[in-house]
Amino acid sequence: MAFKLEKVIPWGRSLKEYVGMFALTTDNFKVKILDCAGGPASFNTEMTRQGYQVISCDPIYQFRANEIAQRIQETYQTVVDGVKANRENYNWQNAQSPEQLGQIRMLAMQQFLEDLPLGIQQERYINGELPVLPFQNSQFELALCSHFLFTYSDLLSQKFHLASILELCRVADEVRIFPLLNISGEPSLLLPWVMSELEAQNYRVEIKQVPYEFQKGGNQMLRVWKD
C-alpha cells in the first residue's frame, strides 16, 4: 500500500540533509537564502549558528513552540508507521530503521523548537505561505523548497504549483525544489506541465541529480532561474 497523507504535516530535516537534497556548496552558504515551507527543519538554526543568513517562511510559525511540538507528536507515529509499512521504497544507508529515522528527524525538529522564540525575535522565521509571500522582489539569491511542492501533488493543484514557483522566482534569483516525487514515491505527474509553462514564460529549468536519496528514485531537484 502506497504511503498517503491527507494534509501537509510538520516534519523537519537537518542542515546535512539540505546540503544533499539541494547540492549546496560553501559558495551557496554565503548568499541570502529563503527556506520556503521550511516547517520544523533545523536548517535555519544550524546555518545561523555558523554565521550564515537564512530566512524561513511557513504558516506554522504563527504558532508557539509548544503548540508546534504538540502537532509534531500528533503526527510523528503516523509518519513512522507509514514509512515502516513501505520500507522497501526507501534507502537505509543513513538510518537503519523507521524508528531510527524518527529519532534523527526528532533531533532536527527539537533544535528548531529550541531556536524558534529567538528566531521569531530576529525575524528569521516568518509567518507566510505560498503562493503569496511577504517578501520584496529579488530579496534572496537562492530559494529552497523541500518536501512540499510536488511532494503533495495529490493535494495541491498544478495551478498552485505554477503560481508558487513563479512567486519564488519573484523573490529569489534561483529556485531549487526537492524532491520531484510525490509522497507515495512516484514521479509527480504535474512536473512536465509546470516545466513547460515556466519555459513558456522565459524561465530556465533544469532537473539536476543530487547526492541524496531516501525515497528510491528521489535523487533529483528542479532548478528554475532567469538569465
Q: What DSSP string describes 47-96?
A: HHHTT--EEEE-GGGGS-HHHHHHHHHHHHHHHHHHHHHTGGGB--SS-S
141 assigned to some structural domain? yes
Specify if 136 maps to a domain.
Answer: yes
Residue 120 CA to residue 97 CA, distance in Å, equals 34
Residue 89 belongs to some domain of the structure: no
Kindly state whether residue 80 falls inside one of the protein's structural domains.
no
pLDDT in tens, 118-136: 999 999 999 999 999 999 9
φ, ψ of residue 111 to 5 degrees: the values are -60, -40
Q: Name the nearest CA neighbour of 152 among 162, 164, 161, 143.
A: 161
Query: What share of the chain in percent tops pLDDT 70?
Result: 97
Which pLDDT score is estimated for 1? Answer: 43
In a domain, 183, yes or no: yes
Q: Does the model's pTM come out above 0.85?
A: yes
**Domain contains 99:** no
Q: Lowest-pLDDT range, 6-10, 45-49, 149-153?
A: 6-10
Q: Determine, yes or no, domain membership for 213.
A: yes
Per the structure, the complete domain to which residue 196 belongs is given by: 16-68+105-225
Structurally, the chain folds into a number of domains equal to 1
Write the pLDDT tens digit of every residue in 56-105: 999 999 999 999 999 998 888 888 888 888 888 888 888 888 888 888 88
Percentage with pLDDT > 90 across the chain = 78
- State the pLDDT at residue 213: 94
Quote the pLDDT of residue 120. 97
Residue 12 confidence class, pLDDT cut points 50, 70, 90: confident
Residue with cell 521550511: 38
Residue 140 belongs to domain with CATH number: 3.40.50.150
95, amino acid identity: A
| pLDDT (0 to 100) of residue 25 | 96
Q: Flag whether 60 is in a domain.
A: yes
Q: Residue 193 has which C-alpha cell?
A: 506541465
Q: What is the pLDDT of residue 11?
A: 75
- pLDDT score of 3: 45
Is the pLDDT assigned to residue 7 strictly greater than 80? no
pLDDT digits (tens, 9 = 90+) for 138-173: 999 999 999 999 999 999 999 999 999 999 999 999
pLDDT of residue 4: 52
